[in-house]
Amino acid sequence: MSQPILCVAVPTPLYRRFDYLPPAGAAHTTPQPGQRVRVPFGRRSVIGVLLEVVTHSDIEQRKLKRAQAVLDTEPVIGADILAMVSWASRYYQYPVGEAFAAALPGLLRQGQSPEATPRVHWRLTAAGQSVDPATLARAPRQAAVIAALHVHTDGLARAALDAPAAVLHALADKGWIEPLTQAPLPAGAGTGTVRGHALNPAQQAAVDCMRERLDTYQPWLLEGVTGSGKTEVYLTLIEEVLAQQRQTLLLVPEIGLTPQLVSRFQRRFPVPLAVLHSGLSDRERLSAWQQARTGLAPIVIGTRSAVFTPLARPGLLIVDEEHDVSLKQQDGFRYSARDLAVWRARYLDIPVLLGSATPSLESLFNVEQQRYRRLALPERTGVAQLPDYELIDVRHAPLEQGLSAPLRRRIRDHLDADGQVLLFLNRRGFAPTLMCYDCDWVAECRRCDARMTWHHSDNRLHCHHCGSQRPVDTACPACHGRDLHPMGQGTERVEQALAEYYPDVERLRIDRDTTRRKGALGALLERARHGRRQLLLGTQMLAKGHHFPNVTLVGILDADHGLFSTEFRASERMAQLIVQVAGRAGRHDRPGQVLIQTAHPDHPLLQLLVTHGYPAFARAALEERRAARLPPVTHLALLRAEATEADAPVRFLEGVQARISAAAVAGVEAWGPVPATMERRAGRYRAQLLLQSDRRGSLQQLLGDLVRQLEQDRASRQVRWSVDVDPADTY
Ligand code: ADP
Ligand code: ZN
Ligand code: ZN
C-alpha cells in the first residue's frame, strides 16, 4: 500500500508546496494538517507547516524525501488560519511557506513548543496567608518568598521571586503556596469596576442591530463621526460576546499610538487581555498568542499581523479605523488585515465589525453593493459638537514660518481663552529643502531621487526615504556660494516659530523624532491630555484616535499635498486625515474650530469636505473613481521591479508586458511599464507595471500563471520583483 504524502509549506521564496513521506517509524499515526514538521530542504533542515495529507504526489514515490519529525502532538495552526493563509498566499501572490512564516510567532518558526511558554506564577494559599515569615528564620529563602507574596497578593512570576525551584516546591508541599498557570492581570487592570455609559439612541440602535445577528457571518460598517462613541459600541458588544463565553479579536492601526485604548479595555473587563504589537519580545508574543489560542484571553487586541492569531472560541472580529493604510502590509507578504478579517469571519461564520469616522471608499462601496451593512453614529456624545471648518487662503495671507497672520491671531485668541491649540503638519525635521539662493541648487540625497530634510536637532541632512544622513553643506557644491537657506517648514521649524510668537505658552511637539525613546510618546500624550493653554504640534501621530478634551482650535498648516498628487488615493487620504485631525477639536463641552491653510480654497473636493462633511466628499470621490474605472469599482495589481542597473527594471517589465499580451486574458489591461515616481531609492532604480481589471477572478488567474512563469525565468533573477494586489499606493 502506498504511504500517505505530506504537503508542506516550506519557508522559501518558491511558490509551490513540497511533498514528503512521513517520518520513519511514524507509520501508526497520521500527521494532521496544522502541525509543524521538520523536513530536509536542499542541504538544510527546516521547519514547515503541514498543509494537507494526500494519497498521491506528482513526484515518484522513490524520489520523495522523508520528513524528519513531526514537532507537535496536535495542530498548532487551526483550520481557519490554515485556510486563510493558504488562500491569502494565492490571492496576494506570495510564496506559501513565507506566508506561513509571516503568520507565525518567531519562536514557533524556530521549533519551540507553544506549551512551554506560560510562565508559572505563584501565590499564597489560604493557609500560607496566615504564615508569618518571621517564624521561618531558619529557612531564610522560604521566608523571603512568603514575605514577597504577602506584598504581591495577586501572585508573582517565577523570575520575580528569584528562588530556586526546590524552595518553591518545599513551600508548595507545606500547602502554603500554589502555582497559577495564568499571569495575574497587570496592576490596576481588569477590575471590571468601570461600568459603561448608558448608550445613546444611535449607539443602542447599532448594538441592537448587531445583537440579533451575533451568531452568523455579517460584515458591518460602523460609520461614526469622531467622538460619537464607537469604542463604547465595541465594548458593549464585547460584553455580549464574553457572556456567551466567546472571544473577540480587535485590530487597531498602531497600538503604540493608542495606549489609552488598551487601558480602557482593561479597566472595563475583569479578564486577561492578550495584546499583540511590534514592541513585544519573542517570548511575550508567543505567550500572548498562546493565551489567545487556548482561550485564556477572551479579548485579543493587536495590530495588523494579529489577524493571524488563533482563537479557541471566536465570537467577533472588530477592525477599528478600518480606513487606515497601516492595516495593509507594504512589503513582503502584502496582505490587507481588514480584508483578511472579513475573509476569516466568513470562514468562521461570525460577524465582523469595521469602524471608522472616515470609512475607506472600498467599504462604502461594499455597503452600496449590499455586501456590508451600515450602522451610523451621526452625532457626538453628550454636549460635544462637531467643529466648524474655515479655509484660510494663503495666496492672500502669506505664510511666515508656516503660519499665516489670521491663523496666528486665532491661536492667540484661543490661548487667551484658556484653550488648547493643536497644529498639524505632516512633515518632520526643520526644513524639507536646503537651497542655494545664487544658483538654485538644492540638497539631494545621493542614493534617492529626493531632497534631503534639514534636521536642526543634530544639524544634519536626513533622507526620509533611505535613512542616509550627512552634515549640512556650508557652501554650495555647484557654485561655491555661501547663500544657503532652508526652504519650507517641518515641525522643528514651526516649533521654533511658536516659541517666538507665544514665548510664555507650553509647547509639545509629537513626531517620530520626539518619540523615539520608549515611553516618550505616552508621557507626551499624558501631558497633552491634561493641558490647557497649551500648544500641541505634530505629524499624523497626533491625528489618530486620541482624546484631548481641552482642544478648542485645530490648525492644519498645509492641506494642499493631497489635492494634486499623481496617486489616485491622495485626495481620499487627505480628507481622512483632515477629518481625523479636526476630530481632536471640541470633544468636550467647549466647541471646536478648525482652520485649514490652503492655496486652493476653491478645490471642489476640499469645498465639499468642509461644507458638507466626509460622507458627501466620499460620495463624490466614489463617483470620480467610477468614471475613471479605478478601485474600488475595478481591481488593480502592481508589479514592481528594482535593480542597481538603471534600465533593467523597465526592460524586465517589458518582458512581463509581452507575456501578458501573449496570455490574452480577457478583461485585464496592463499599463506601463513606467519608472516609479521616485525612480531611484536607496541606490536602486525602480519601475512598475499596473494591471487593471473589472473582474477580480480574471486578474487572479493571470497573476497566478504569471508569477509561476517568472519564477522559472532567468531574466527575473536580474531584478528584484514583487506583486502588490490591491495596492495601497500606486507610485
Ligand atoms: P469614538 O471611538 O467614536 O471616538 P468614544 O467611544 O471614545 O468615541 O467616545 C468619545 C467620548 O464619549 C469618550 O470620552 C466616551 O467615554 C464618551 N462616551 C461614549 N459613549 C457615551 C455615552 N453613551 N454617554 C456619554 N458619554 C459617552
Ligand atoms: Zn549655488
Ligand atoms: Zn535617500
Distance in angstroms (rounded) separating the CA atoms of residues 731 and 727: 10
pLDDT in tens, 37-52: 999 999 999 999 999 9
> Average pLDDT, whole number, for the chain?
90
pLDDT in tens, 146-164: 988 887 777 777 767 777 8
Distance in angstroms (rounded) separating the CA atoms of residues 455 and 462: 7
Mean pLDDT across 319-325: 95
Q: Which residue's C-alpha comes closest to atom 20 of ligand 1?
A: 229
Beta carbon of 544 within 6 Å of any ligand 1 atom: no
Beta carbon of 226 within 6 Å of any ligand 1 atom: yes
- Residue 461: predicted pLDDT: 96
Ligand nearest to the CA of 451: 3
8 A C-beta contact, residue 131 and residue 137: no
Beta carbon of 197 within 6 Å of any ligand 1 atom: yes
Q: Indicate the top mutation candidate among 194, 199, 225, 231 to test ligand 1's pocket, ranked by most ligand atoms within 8 A of CB.
A: 231
Residue identified by cell 473613481 is 625
Beta carbon of 203 within 6 Å of any ligand 1 atom: yes
Closest CA to 490 of 470, 506, 473, 514: 514
Ligand nearest to the CA of 484: 2
Distance in angstroms (rounded) separating the CA atoms of residues 624 and 627: 5
SS3 579: helix
Query: What is the Å distance from ligand 3's center to 452 Cα?
Result: 8
Mean pLDDT across 318-336: 95
- Residue 422: predicted pLDDT: 95
User: To 10 degrees, what angle do helices 361-368 and 614-628 make?
Assistant: 80
Distance in angstroms (rounded) separating the CA atoms of residues 71 and 73: 7
pLDDT in tens, 176-229: 998 765 544 443 344 565 778 899 999 999 999 999 999 999 999 999 998 899
Alpha carbons within 13 angstroms on the beta-carbon side of residue 642 total 15
Distance in angstroms (rounded) separating the CA atoms of residues 179 and 125: 10
pTM: 0.88
Distance in angstroms (rounded) separating the CA atoms of residues 665 and 249: 39
At 605, list the grid cell. Answer: 473636493
Distance in angstroms (rounded) separating the CA atoms of residues 50 and 97: 10
Beta carbon of 382 within 6 Å of any ligand 1 atom: yes
Beta carbon of 355 within 6 Å of any ligand 1 atom: no
Ligand nearest to the CA of 194: 1
Three-state DSSP string of 632-663: CCCEEEEEEEEECCCCHHHHHHHHHHHHHHHH
Query: What is the Å distance from ligand 2's center to 446 Cα?
Result: 17
At 553, list the grid cell. Answer: 482650535
pLDDT in tens, 53-82: 998 888 877 789 999 999 998 899 999 999
Which residue did the predictor score with more confidence, 479 or 58?
479
- Residue 257: predicted pLDDT: 58
Q: What percent of the chain has pLDDT over 90?
A: 66
User: Which is the closest atom of ligand 1 to the Cα of 384?
Assistant: 12
Query: What is the Å distance from ligand 1's center to 411 Cα?
Result: 27
Q: Indicate the top mutation candidate among 197, 321, 580 to test ligand 1's pocket, ranked by most ligand atoms within 8 A of CB.
A: 197
Q: Indicate the top mutation candidate among 381, 383, 529, 551 to test ligand 1's pocket, ranked by most ligand atoms within 8 A of CB.
A: 381
CA angle 161, 167, 169 (to 5 degrees): 105
User: Which is the closest atom of ligand 1 to the Cα of 200?
Assistant: 23
Q: Which residue's C-alpha comes closest to atom 5 of ligand 1?
A: 229
DSSP-derived letter for residue 629 is T
Which residue did the predictor score with more confidence, 293 or 730?
293
Beta carbon of 230 within 6 Å of any ligand 1 atom: yes
Which residue did the predictor score with more confidence, 265 or 2?
265
Stretch among 184-198, 427-441, 526-540, 648-662 having the lowest mean pLDDT: 184-198
Residues in the chain: 731
User: Which is the closest atom of ligand 1 to the Cα of 234?
Assistant: 6
- Model confidence at 140: pLDDT above 90: no
Burial 446-457 (b: 16+ CB within 10 A, else e): ebbbbbbbbbbe
Closest CA to 556 of 706, 399, 322: 399
- Model confidence at 329: pLDDT above 70: yes
User: Which is the closest atom of ligand 1 to the Cα of 377?
Assistant: 3
Distance in angstroms (rounded) separating the CA atoms of residues 295 and 274: 10
SS3 488: coil
Residue identified by cell 514665548 is 503
Distance in angstroms (rounded) separating the CA atoms of residues 260 and 545: 9
User: pLDDT-derived band of residue 234, with 50, 70 and 90 as boundaries?
Assistant: very high
Three-state DSSP string of 162-175: CCCHHHHHHHHHCC
- Residue 187: predicted pLDDT: 38
User: pLDDT-derived band of residue 620, with 50, 70 and 90 as boundaries?
Assistant: very high
Mean pLDDT across 118-125: 72
- Model confidence at 494: pLDDT above 80: yes
Residue identified by cell 557654485 is 479
Q: Which residue's C-alpha comes closest to atom 24 of ligand 1?
A: 197
Beta carbon of 356 within 6 Å of any ligand 1 atom: no
DSSP string, 213-255: TTTS-EEEEEEE-TTS-HHHHHHHHHHHHHHTT-EEEEE-S-G
CA angle 564, 568, 572 (to 5 degrees): 85
Beta carbon of 381 within 6 Å of any ligand 1 atom: yes
Mean pLDDT across 102-131: 82
- Model confidence at 731: pLDDT above 90: no
Mean pLDDT across 6-19: 94
User: Which is the closest atom of ligand 1 to the Cα of 549?
Assistant: 14
Distance in angstroms (rounded) separating the CA atoms of residues 222 and 230: 7
Q: What percent of the chain has pLDDT over 70?
A: 95
Mean pLDDT across 621-646: 95
Beta carbon of 164 within 6 Å of any ligand 1 atom: no
Q: Which residue's C-alpha comes closest to atom 18 of ligand 1?
A: 229
Closest CA to 377 of 223, 607, 540, 555: 223
At 567, list the grid cell. Answer: 496617486
Query: What is the Å distance from ligand 2's center to 682 Cα?
Result: 25
Beta carbon of 236 within 6 Å of any ligand 1 atom: no
Q: Which residue's C-alpha comes closest to atom 15 of ligand 1?
A: 229
- Residue 217: predicted pLDDT: 98
Ligand nearest to the CA of 479: 2
Residue identified by cell 495552526 is 77
pLDDT in tens, 550-602: 899 999 998 887 777 778 998 999 999 999 888 888 777 777 899 999 999 99
User: Which is the closest atom of ligand 1 to the Cα of 583?
Assistant: 4
Beta carbon of 98 within 6 Å of any ligand 1 atom: no
- Residue 413: predicted pLDDT: 95
Stretch among 376-385, 554-563, 665-674 having the lowest mean pLDDT: 376-385
Q: Which residue's C-alpha comes closest to atom 23 of ligand 1?
A: 199
Residue identified by cell 484660510 is 392
Query: What is the Å distance from ligand 1's center to 211 Cα?
Result: 20
Query: What is the Å distance from ligand 1's center to 230 Cα?
Result: 7
Mean pLDDT across 122-144: 86
Ligand nearest to the CA of 357: 1
User: pLDDT-derived band of residue 134, with 50, 70 and 90 as boundaries?
Assistant: confident
SS3 202: helix
- Residue 259: predicted pLDDT: 67
